[in-house]
Structure 1
Amino acid sequence: MDEIARDYTADLLGSSSLAALLTALVSLVLVANRGTWPLLRNVITIAHEGGHAVIALLSGRKLNGIRLHSDTSGLTVSTGKPTGPGMVFTLIAGYPAVPLLGLGGAWLVAADRAQLMLWISIGLLVLMLLAIRNAYGALSVLITGGALFAVSWYAPPAWQAVCCALVSWFLLIGGLRPLGELRSKRARGRAPDSDADQLARLTGLPGTAWLLLWLLVGLASLLVGGALLLQMPQL
């Protein structure tokens, strides 16, 4: 029986297109399900706040710290000029960071570099951990990094590719749901200090325009990343 199970698993993983479709379906369920989304949304928040932090540093701002909260919200604090391109790009960066990371992951998976994707992800999480300023945030980053490390260390190459495809799909699909949540909150007047509203005050462009921009980035990333993942090398 064990040999039959191993043969079945090998046959399943051997079909790269089937593996890509299955990981896409699993990711969609994880994002859409009310039971799994509140927990796994922490991964989306980590990527979102990481995007703010990276662009803040690249634009010359001083990064004061990152906080991740149990309600899956987050806050990245940086010091610098309160107006101007640096602040604008820092605010823009959060929402696109999630699908763009998914796109980068999809490219690495398609290039048969799943292990490289895992180690890059772990390295970025280690750097982010240095900027975390609360216990829950540190725990979230450690758990996420620990899971990726376990896959990189213990899983065979085929399963590493499957796990990386799953993570990439999750970022590509999961990066879209917060935009819908933000739209609903803004419609009810419950997000006056959202990234979109802060950008509206800084640039004069309405918050809806920023939401549309982020949506276009997310959809384009999903289309391109999905096409790449469907071209996964034979496992």
Structure 2
Amino acid sequence: MHPHSVSDVWNLVTGVQPAPATTVVWGTAAVALVVVVVRGLWHWTRNIVTIAHEGGHALLAVLTRRRLHGIRLHSDTSGLTVSSGKPHGPGMVLTAAAGYVAPSLLGLGGAWLIAAGHVAGLLWSVVALLVAVLVMVRNAYGLLSVLVTGAVCFAVTWYGSVDVQSAFAYLAVWFLLVAGVRPVLELQSKRANGGARDSDADQLGRLTRTPGFLWVLFFMVVALGSLAVGARLLLR
């Protein structure tokens, strides 16, 4: 049964839902691992990571009072967030550093909400975040990608049963936690082969006068730490 009024939605968001069966928790973890590891599946699901990545850049740009101009998402799963302001300093560093850690931190936050029983609250929060990203997207493929992702999340949130919502929430959070690791590995692989000279890590290296690899290491520590803590919350 789906909500029929604003009060129904609010009751769902603030309410506590029961935890699913252990088989659902482990099953969704297995599915998330498969879609991240299998190359053909990863090509499509990586768009979700790109949305989170660029959303992280955009959020920190706004929080550090930079002027956000827009987000572009491309069919090769790359993306670009354009903001203006001081080309150096803490605001620029935080904005540049937010991308690779955003999926993992979103997954960790989702795991905390699930552990507290707020499955519906998590799903509605995801819908709200996708709407916020949508209004800043500036290209057709990006609009389509966010709209499809948002439509799926909204359909599950509005029409799905408690069991369906719970399984979907676990799958989404497991995916973000596991998927947060692979882009960092891909980044360092490209850097090792002489590519990605303008990657977030290398830009941060130039901004802070430190080796870019240290930023890759930072991204990986955040990703693995979020996965470890998030998994403990989900399996508790």
Counterpart check, 1:161 vs 2:166: yes
Alignment correspondent of 1:221: 226
Aligned to 1:113: 118
**Residue deviations 1:83-123 (CA, integer Å, cap 9, x gap):** 11100000000011110000111111121111111111111
TM-score by length of 1: 0.91
Matches within 5 A, 1:21-32: 21-32=26-37
Secondary structure, counterpart of 1:36 in structure 2: helix
Separation of aligned partners in 2, 1:17 and 1:25 = 12
Which amino acid is the alignment partner of residue 225 of structure 2? A
Instruction: Output the CA distance in 2 between the equivalents of 1:25 and 1:159.
Output: 17
Change (3 A) 1:19 1:76: same
Aligned equivalents of 2:233, 2:156: Cα separation in 1 = 22
Deviation at 1:57, TM superposition (A): 0.5
Q: Deviations over 1:14-70 (max 9, x none)?
A: 863221111111100000011110000000000000000000000010000000000
Which whole-Å CA distance do the structure 1 matches of 2:19 and 2:216 have between them? 40
Match of 1:205 among 201, 207, 210: 210
Q: What residue is the counterpart of 1:86 in the other structure? A: 91
Q: How many residues align?
A: 219
Equivalent of residue 178 in structure 1, options 183, 189, 192: 183
2:130 corresponds in structure 1 to: 125
- SS of residue matched to 2:32: helix
RMSD over aligned Cα atoms: 1.2
In structure 2, distance between residues paired with 1:86 and 1:224 = 28
AA at the equivalent of 1:173:
V
How high is the TM-score relative to the length of structure 2?
Answer: 0.91
Partner AA of 1:65 in structure 2 = G
Distance 2:59 2:181 in 1: 21
For the structure 1 residues 113 and 186, does the alpha-carbon distance in structure 2 shift closer, same or farther, using more than 3 Å as the test?
A: same
> Using the alignment, how far apart are the partners of 2:20 and 2:206 within structure 1?
50
Structure 1's consecutive aligned runs of 4 or more residues displaced over 3 angstroms after TM superposition are: none
Alignment correspondent of 2:13: none
Partner Cα separation in structure 2 for residue 14 and residue 226 of structure 1? 15
Check conservation: 1:23, 1:169, Cα contact below 8 A.
Answer: yes
Task: Report what 1:18 is aligned to.
Answer: 23
CA contact (8 A) 2:20 2:166 kept: no
Tell me, which stretches of 5 or more residues in structure 2 are unaligned? 1-17
Amino acid corresponding to residue 210 of structure 1 in structure 2: W
